[in-house]
Amino acid sequence: MPAVSTNDLKNGMTLNLPEGLYSVVEFQHVKPGKGGAFVRTKLKNMRTGAVIDRTYRADEKLDQAIIEKREMQFLYADGTDYVFMDNSDYEQVLAPREALGSAANFLKEGDSALLQFFAGEIVAIDLPAAVELTVSETEPGLQGDRVSGARKPAVLETGITVQVPLFVNPGDRVKVDTRSGEYLTRAGG
């Protein structure tokens, strides 16, 4: 694994620390009047999403993790595994639901996603900022249900439940934010 100096850190760089894989969220070089320079970092765990603060000496060596990104299409769920196909060589890859984290809530068959691999293991998945999903079940909206801000639960085609406005009906397509899991708007069509 290539070693990288803390002086050469960049946002988005992935580090293989003893605690696991971490992505650099932000860093700051500090040179106090007395004593040696140091680097203050904010790191995000690639698997859990937890953010930690770490301080390193200037020019300290850390292991850089080389992440391979591959665009893949979600084919189907097979029990607890999700089957993806590489768009370039049609190779199929099995991914356990745990490896996908909350992204599994927004994937439907045929969707494309950018999977991140480290040492042959899926460590993260990048989805579009928003996806369109069909409402499977919710209480039907009534004429005149336009109370501002009022919400009701709706189960979407992937099984996730989100809070939607009262006027949304079963069969409607809605746009959902993949980062927060919140309803954004009703989708056309």
> At 57, which helix (H) or strand (E)?
strand 51-57
Architecture of domain 3-63: Roll (2.30)
The sign of the dihedral angle between the CA atoms of 144, 150, 156, 161 is negative
Q: Using the predicted structure, report yes or no on whether residue 145 has a pLDDT greater than 60.
A: no
**Chain segment 2-11, per-residue pLDDT in tens:** 899 988 999 9
Q: Return the CATH number of 130-186, one of 3.40.120.10, 3.40.50.1580, 2.40.50.140, 3.40.960.10.
A: 2.40.50.140
Which residues is 94 bridged to in the sheet?
Answer: 83
**Chain segment 25-55, per-residue pLDDT in tens:** 999 999 988 888 999 999 998 877 789 999 9
- Domain ranges, ordered by start, for the chain: 3-63, 68-126, 130-186
Q: Do domains 68-126 and 130-186 have the same CATH topology?
A: yes
pLDDT-based confidence at 189, cuts 50/70/90? low
**Chain segment 51-105, per-residue pLDDT in tens:** 999 999 988 999 999 989 999 999 998 888 899 999 889 999 888 888 888 888 8
For residue 146, CA distances in Å to 103, 165, 166 come to: 31, 8, 7
Residue carrying the six token digits 């932000």: 26
Q: Using the predicted structure, report yes or no on whether residue 141 has a pLDDT greater than 80.
A: no
**Chain segment 146-185, per-residue pLDDT in tens:** 666 778 899 999 889 999 888 888 999 999 998 888 999 8
Reported as half-sphere exposure (CB side, CA atoms, 13 A), residue 33 has a value of: 0
CATH level 3 topology of 68-126: OB fold (Dihydrolipoamide Acetyltransferase, E2P) (2.40.50)
> Under a CB-based contact definition with an 8 Å cutoff, are residues 96 and 81 in contact?
yes
Q: Is the pTM for the entire model greater than 0.75?
A: no
